[in-house]
Amino acid sequence: MQKKYSWYSLLKAGLGNQEWDQAIPLSKPKSKYDVIIIGGGGHGLATAYYLAKECGITNVAVLEKGYIGGGNTGRNTTIIRSNYLRDEASSLYEHSMRLWEGLSEDLNFNVMFSQRGVYNLGHTLQDMRDIERRVNANVLNGVDAVVVDHKEIKEQIPIINTSKNARYPIMGASFQARAGVARHDGVAWGFARAASNLGVDIIQNCEVIDIEVEEGRVKGVKTTLGDIMADRVGCVSAGHSSVVAKMAGLRLPVESHPLQAFVSEAMKPILHTVVMSNAVHGYVSQSDKGDLVIGAGIDGYNSYAQRGSAKIVEHCAAAILELFPIFSRVRMNRQWGGIVDVCPDACPVISPTKVEGLYFNCGWGTGGFKATPGSGNVFAHTIAQDKQHELAVPFHIDRFTSGALIDEHGAAGVAH
């Protein structure tokens, strides 16, 4: 059990700059667990945390092949919002948003959740019709959202280019005030620390190489640190979901693509909110340490390479400069890619499978970070009760057989 963080503990350790406890204990795997979670990213760690906290299952291991939060959790652009069009999607993301709002207190770890608002820009009349429809749907679903015109945008963000002479002039936007950003690494660390305080083993550098299935039931996993038995296994391995599924003889309706992002050198505060545009396809915010965090789109080809094409970077940079000409002299510091598993309907799979005791939480595509607490929460209940959480029901893998897809791809647009 780690000591609780408080102003007193920080002052005491900070004054002498010593007695800093290790934040998360290093665990070795036991031979058997009630539940194994494959994947120590935000979603996997959140699943373990809520299994222990809300479902009373503490004999849980999280197996991570690298280090926790080293995959997409540490590679995204940290945007959090819940203004999705479809009822199924907006309920799930709003559930997540409510958890975000109390998360730092709940975890006793500052995840630096900052509700600085998100603007989703519209550049054409059709964009504006879609935005009005989405905002109305949001309000009916209890999600805060308003439509703003280009004058209000200019008032709020003086550096944005609302000129009518732009190639794609900004006509307006939807604005969600409760949306914002969080510290992505902090989210992984916070969930890991809080979960391990409740008895969960967080095991790093432990790659799952096979899943043992006997008579249609999962028995355990083979790992680089030996065999581990488990009654239930939850897979939360994002871009590698298809690889893990293959170990159990399953196929998934997902394909893995590279998704890129880049950050600039640190600057004084210049952008106090988050701006996204589906039409020109770029999104940007400024982190607390001052760098611009810019996200691009996916490459169309399949890849597990964690790097994408220069064409996408160029396209995204062009979009950002169209919106913010003032950024034209900003130097970029780093650029990277993550592997995202995209479902045909751009909605996740949170579901049991044909193998008894084996559950999948995957297909979050380009928009998983915002859902971290909500995804973990509903997936934990799904595993614990062997029955989908009510918010997860529409996200059953069988929707690809029944045809009951959730058409968020057309609704939320590409930036996710």
Partner 1 sequence: MFLIDCPYCKESRDQNEFSPAGEAFIARPQNPEELSDDEWADYVFYRTNHKGDHWEQWVHTNGCRKYFLVKRSTISHDILEVAAFGEVTSENKS
Rule CB under 8 A: say whether 344 interacts with partner 1. Answer: yes
d(CA 389, CA 379) in angstroms, rounded, equals 7
Tokens standing for 168? 């794609």
Stretch that binds partner 1, among 95-103, 123-131, 246-254, 328-336 (CB under 8 A): 246-254
- Side-chain-facing half-sphere of 5: CA atoms under 13 Å: 19
Q: Name the segment binding partner 1 (CB under 8 A); options: 46-54, 66-74, 107-115, 248-256.
A: 248-256
Nearer to partner 1 by C-beta: 127 or 299?
A: 299
Task: Please pick, from the candidates 73, 242, 273, 353, the single residue that binds partner 1 as defined by CB under 8 A.
Answer: 242
Count residues contacting partner 1 (CB under 8 A)? 24
For position 366 contacting partner 1 by CB under 8 A, the verdict is: no
Question: Smallest Cα–Cα separation from 174: which of 208, 209, 142, 137?
Answer: 137
Chain residues 249-308 in contact with partner 1, contact rule CB under 8 A: 251-256, 299-305
The owner of tokens 């039409």 is 279
User: How many residues does this entry show for the chain?
Assistant: 416
| Measured distance CA(198)–CA(273) in Å, rounded | 35
Among 75, 95, 240, 281, binds partner 1 (CB under 8 A): 240
Instruction: Report if residue 14 touches partner 1, rule: CB under 8 A.
Output: no
CB 69 within 8 A of CB 41: yes
Chain center to CA of 114: 16
Interactions with partner 1, residue window 382-401 (CB under 8 A)? 400-401
Q: Between 57 and 350, whose beta carbon lies closer to partner 1?
A: 350
| Phi then psi dihedrals of residue 192, to 5 deg | -65, -45
Closest CA to 187 of 303, 128, 100: 100
CA distance 98 to 358: 28
338 binds partner 1 (CB under 8 A): no
Whether residue 46 contacts residue 375, with contact meaning beta carbons closer than 8 Å, is answered with yes
Does residue number 351 form part of the binding site for partner 1 (CB under 8 A)? no
As measured in angstroms, the least distance from the Cβ of 345 to partner 1 is: 9
Nearer to partner 1 (CB atom), residue 146 or residue 404: 404
Q: Which residues are at the interface with partner 1 (CB under 8 A)?
A: 240, 242-243, 251-256, 299-305, 309-311, 341, 344, 400-402
